Each structure stands twice: as C-alpha cells, then as structure tokens.
C-alpha cells in the first residue's frame, strides 16, 4: 500500500526549493567552468535544497529511500560532498550528476519507483 502525506503549501515550497536548487546548479557550473569563485556556494545551495526536497519527499512517501529515485538522491548528495572535498574532479562529477539526474528524473515512473532495498 502506497502511503502519501501532504501539508498545505507543500507544492509551492517544493517549487521554490527546486528553483533555488537550479540556481545552485548554475552557480556551481559557473564556478567550475568559469571563474571558480561561486563553485562552493552553488554546491552548498544544491546540497541544502536537495536535502530539504529529499526530506519533504521522504515525509510524503516514507518508502522513497527504498526505491531507485530515493537511493539515487542520496548518491547525488554524496557526489555533491565529493565535489566540495575534491574540487579537482568537480567538473567530471558535475556532468555525471547533471546527466544522470536528467535520465532518472525523466525515466518512466515504473523505473524510478522500482524497489532497490528491502
């Protein structure tokens, strides 16, 4: 049985957080491939908004952490930490996360919500 909870304003909060998350992607990209000054700011913004979005999604759908989408989200957050800790590979990790995120988020629902962990 699928359990989904909701709270007033959740949708708009998610929209704001996703918009800030995208701003973090742009800042990180400019920092990595441009002048380098905003890379950490962008990655931290992605981390914070990513954690907030994951928390909301997990509260709404408690089994998310067992599904491919939830496991992938945690992996993305780990890769973002790696970008901060090992900036020499941040460019490669940036493209890896960007492309993999696009694939997973646009994959069919059956794929994204496939149970990975028992």
pLDDT in the model for residue 2: 62
Number of domains in the chain: 1
For residue 74, the enclosing domain spans 10-112
For residue 24, tell me if it sits in a domain. Answer: yes
Q: SS3 for 43?
A: helix
pLDDT in the model for residue 116: 85
Taking the chain (118 residues) in runs of 10, the rounded mean pLDDT of each run is: 78 97 96 89 96 94 92 94 94 96 93 86
Q: DSSP letter at 38?
A: S
Give the separation between CA 56 and CA 87, rounded to whole angstroms: 29
Residue 92's contacts (CB-CB under 8 Å, 6 or more residues apart) are none
pTM: 0.87
For the four alpha carbons of 26, 32, 36 and 38, in that order, the dihedral sign comes to positive
For residue 3, tell me if it sits in a domain. Answer: no
For residue 82, tell me if it sits in a domain. Answer: yes
pLDDT in the model for residue 66: 93
pLDDT in the model for residue 37: 83
For residue 117, tell me if it sits in a domain. Answer: no
For residue 4, tell me if it sits in a domain. Answer: no
Give the separation between CA 92 and CA 99, rounded to whole angstroms: 11
């Amino acid at each position: 049985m699928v359990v989904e909870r909701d709270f007033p304003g959740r949708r708009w909060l998610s929209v704001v957080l996703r918009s800030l998350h995208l701003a973090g992607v742009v800042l990180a990209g400019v920092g990595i491939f441009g002048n380098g000054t905003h890379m950490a700011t962008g990655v931290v913004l992605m981390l914070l908004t990513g954690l907030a979005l994951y928390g909301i999604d997990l509260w709404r759908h408690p089994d998310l952490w067992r599904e491919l989408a939830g496991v992938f989200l945690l992996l993305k957050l780990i890769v973002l930490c790696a970008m901060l800790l090992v900036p020499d590979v941040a460019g490669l990790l940036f493209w890896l996360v960007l492309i993999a995120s696009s694939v997973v988020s646009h994959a069919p629902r059956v794929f994204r919500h496939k149970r990975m962990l028992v």
